[in-house]
Amino acid sequence: MIAPKLRWLGRVAYEPTWRAMQRLVDARDSSTPDEIWFLEHPPVFTLGMNARPEHLLAPGDIPVVQIDRGGQVTYHGPGQLVVYPLLDLTRARLGIRPLVEGIERAIVAALATWGIDSYGRRDAPGVYVGSAKVASVGLRIRRGCSYHGLALNVAMDLGPFRRINPCGYAGLEMTQVSELGGPSDLGVVAGVLAPQLLAALGFDAADQSATSTWRQDVSSV
């Protein structure tokens, strides 16, 4: 199966990136190549379709965006690696549960590179180290295609997570790769995660270098 195009978008505003994902899903057909976007966002809280407002405790001056993924409230900010798999699930023969579990396996495998023991949870999607959460997963499937994705805390200010009940869980502790003995550079983490993600989703990881495109202009996607 042909591997997706990998794109590094750098630090990009949340809402234009979300709208670009929607446009890609709306415009694609059976021949449209899959893509996976790697990026980080400026500070923003996002609320999933069924998010309960009481989980947003004290947003302060951080923008809040109501969006169309599943899940509750989460935080994105600089130093967090965000990855958006834009995949034709019918063509890839991937169901929603295998997609979520594949994303979690890829994160677990990447973290193991730095000796970090982590695990996924079926009852609360994401990846955990002990009782603390290091990565969140939230997706939307439309027209048989996926968008939104995962957020892996790498080297960020975790303080804003205390302004919410992360993913709807009061008192949930958040952690990050750099505090667990891993690197603090997003590019390094992305370089390790990318082939793990391709392999976990059934693509040929050997195609990674041939399908990588490094670009900054999300508005043109």
Residues 6+ apart with CB under 8 A from 214: 7, 8
- Of the residues 92, 167, 198, 201, only one is catalytic, namely 167
- 167 included as an active-site residue: yes
Cα separations in angstroms, 129 against 37, 77, 91, 176, 201: 25, 20, 33, 9, 22
Residues 6+ apart with CB under 8 A from 135: 104, 107, 126, 127, 150, 151, 152, 153
| CA neighbor of 38 nearest in space, from 150, 196, 184, 138 | 150
The residues annotated with a catalytic role in the active site are 167
